[in-house]
Amino acid sequence: MSGAALGIEIVVVFFLALFLLHRYADFRKQQRMVLFGTLLAWYLCFLIVFILPLDISTTIYKQCKIDHEEHASVSPVTPLISNQTAGNSTTVCYKPWSYIPDGIMPVFWRVVYWTSQCLTWLLLPFMQSYARSGGFSITGKIKTALIENAIYYGTYLLIFGSLLIYVAVHPQWHLSWYELQTIGITAANTWGLFLLVLLLGYGLVEIPRSYWNASRQGHLLIKTYFKAAKLMTEKADAEENLEDVMEEVRKVQESIKYNHPLRKYIDTILRKCPVEYQEKMGRNMDDYEDFDDKQNTYPSEKNLVKLHKQVIYAVQRHNRTHVQWQILLQQAMHLEDVAKNETSSAHQFVHSFPSTEPTSWLSPYLYTPTVEWYWECLLRQWFYRLLAVLLSLFSVGVVWSECTFFSTRPVLSLFAVFIQLAERDYNYLYIEMACFITIFFLCTCVYSTVFRIRVFNYYYLASHHQTDAYSLQFSGMLFCRLTPPLCLNFLGLIHMDSAISHQLKEQTAYTSIMGSMRVLSFIANGFYIYYPMLILLLCIATYFSLGTRCLNLLGFQQFVGDNEMTSDLIDEGKELIRREKRKRQRTEDGENRRREWKERYGNTREDTASNRNRNEAAEMTETNYSDTVPIPNTNPNRRKHVPGRYLSMSSSRSRIFDDV
């Protein structure tokens, strides 16, 4: 099994990152460069989270071997180191099932870490500006990206230079490549830890509270009404913004005709517009006029680049708000259905409207209306409450450990206590599962906060393939900056980072690539130890919703229960949902009437049409027969039939309308 666990996790993590990227990005419309950069950033961060427990168990096994060697050097009896039991008198070091051979993990961590750092500090900012640029050529986009990132890179050089000068003037230190590398890693981890504590303090409280509120159907429905009112305002603003931008595009494309040198840029802009606007502009377009015939003022290429950027943003925002409105409308209707079905005595869940989401072929057999009623109306709320309680206990343990992890004697960190107890029995599976669950919980608190960040619609991660390129790459940058300090902080919680625990123990391969933080003692002994205690204050502020109340006072509409504006938005959202339900009901009634009309009169029309076709076929057959077979003239007064003439032109008046 040596190295097999590592290979399996590498493959599994790749598909996990690909699945999440598919949920938030649109593979058909996004640029390949954007998708590749974001996928690589997410993949590397998830690798660190999943592989670190294997590194910890392997390090514990190595420490066991070192302890046995030291004991053997002072004891006449040499203990046995093997995979089998050696009796009661001898202590055995068991090799973990996921043991990774020497030399693999240092190389693996070095590749993963430095690749992620190059992505987050160099490539992704450049790719972000490149994708957001409205240039029409690759050269123009590269130029714009370099100009936008000049200040960005200059700030990093200033910070790194300051730390470099601090080390250079220290009389006891001699600069080497190893120390320069450590300074760079320390600067990156310090920035990441600063942001990590802020996000973690919010997520430790908000995630358990979100599950507890999800168990309260009434509260969840009211909050959905509030979101509907806010989203409708944003949706109307997006539609108005799109109309304004399309009006500017119309004016520009009417002024620049087919033989103008800038016409190719106009065609590029038009291809980014919605189809209905393209058709409207195409109908009103007269490209037969020569641009030299009139003395018009034409926009410059710089103005067209700016317009191109506005079109991309306006179209993406309009599509995103439209999809979000449909999703939120479906959620509100479902919650109203749950409220109605709670009082049902039949224990059968009844939907007001059929679900628009695709279902698998097993759903009608497994997720029956009875099962759905018991889950939605009875079991779900209790499951969420139990999950909220467990997550709350986990959050309390994290806060306590963050405030006491610097104490090694006695050991106060709860996670360090659990790992050390399992280490005595060499229960590697428990160690790996405990480490993975803890790291996964910390990452969930941090990453969920990242996914909820929304800064004036400039950065926003939206599911159902509605996230733009800028937001995707920004999330990749944050992941790469937050994951290494998060894992380093976790190693400090379990006392496996010697820079914090000050213990002479075997270091993990992950810690070895970070270098010795003693090069910058004021960071290792000060900032890394005492700054995480700020989580306690942030958790208290989040519990009492101080940030939400401050934003509400500043004019940003937030969900605050005892606020008049919140009540008005709830009423407005309820009315919007009612209006949409009436509109959907009218549409459904119209479809039902058309279906009933087709079922009632469709067969009669089909029979009439078939009889008509049959009569016409018979008439044509009779005509053809009369044209080929001679008819005997028994009546001398009857006009002789002329071949090739229709029967309707004969002397018989009773057959004059037979061909109708």
Phi then psi dihedrals of residue 640, to 5 deg? -65, 135
* Model confidence band, residue 439 (pLDDT cutoffs 50, 70, 90): very high
Over its C-alpha atoms, the chain yields an Rg (Å, rounded) of 36
- Strand-pairing partners, residue 459, are 455
The overall average pLDDT reported for the chain is: 78
CB atoms within 10 A of CB 632: 5
pLDDT (mean) for 636-648: 40
Pair 459, 474: CB distance under 8 Å:
yes
Q: How far apart are CA 202 and CA 449, in angstroms?
A: 7
- Taking each helix axis from N to C end, the angle separating 414-424 and 469-493, rounded to the nearest 10 degrees, works out to 60
Q: Is the pLDDT of residue 267 over 70?
A: yes
What pLDDT is attached to residue 2?
A: 58
Question: What's the pLDDT at 51?
Answer: 92
What is the pLDDT at residue 85? 38
pLDDT band at 400 (very low <50, low <70, confident <90, very high): very high
Question: Which of 245, 316, 269 shows the shortest CA–CA distance to 459?
Answer: 316
pLDDT at 604 over 60: no
**Residue-level pLDDT at 507:** 82
Whether cis (ω within 30° of 0) applies to the bond prior to 410 is yes
Q: pLDDT grade, residue 270 (50/70/90)?
A: confident
For residue range 216-247, list pLDDT tens digits in order.
Answer: 888 899 999 999 999 999 899 999 999 999 99
What secondary structure letter does DSSP report for 80? Answer: P
For residue 562, pLDDT beyond 80:
no
Higher pLDDT, 332 or 506: 332
pLDDT tens digits, residue range 67-121?
777 766 665 544 444 444 333 334 577 788 888 888 888 899 999 999 998 898 8
Is pTM beyond 0.85 here?
A: no
Cα distances (angstroms) measured from residue 395 to each of 165, 366, 434: 40, 35, 15
Q: Give the tens place of pLDDT for each residue, 10-28.
A: 999 999 999 989 888 888 8
pLDDT, position 627: 45
Query: What is the mean predicted confidence (pLDDT) over 313-331?
Result: 87
Closest listed residue to residue 90, CA positions, set 71, 73, 74? 71
Instruction: Quote the CA–CA distance of 313 and 316 in Å, as a whole number.
Output: 5
Predicted pLDDT of residue 575 = 92
The two tokens of residue 463 are: 């599911």
141: CB partners within 8 A, 6+ apart:
130, 133, 135
What is the model's pLDDT at position 645?
37
Query: What pLDDT is attached to residue 349?
Result: 85
Identify which has the larger pLDDT, 181 or 642: 181
Distance of CA 57 to the CA centre of its chain: 32
Please state, in angstroms and rounded to a whole number, the distance separating the CA atoms of residues 244 and 314: 9
> Per DSSP, what are the bridge partners of residue 455?
459
pLDDT band for position 393 (cuts 50, 70, 90): very high
3-state SS assignment for residue 444:
helix
* pLDDT recorded at residue 31: 81
State the Cα–Cα distance between residues 375 and 373, nearest whole angstrom. Answer: 5
Q: Which amino acid is at 596?
A: E
Least confident of 143-152, 447-456, 585-594: 447-456
Q: Kindly report each contact of residues 382-389 with a partner whose C-beta sits within 8 Å and lies 24 or more positions away, as own/partner.
A: 382/215, 383/215, 384/211, 384/212, 384/214, 384/215, 385/211, 385/212, 385/215, 387/211, 388/208, 388/209, 388/211, 388/212, 388/215, 389/208
- Look at residue 42 in the predicted model and tell me its pLDDT: 92
Distance (Å, whole) CA 187 – CA 164: 10
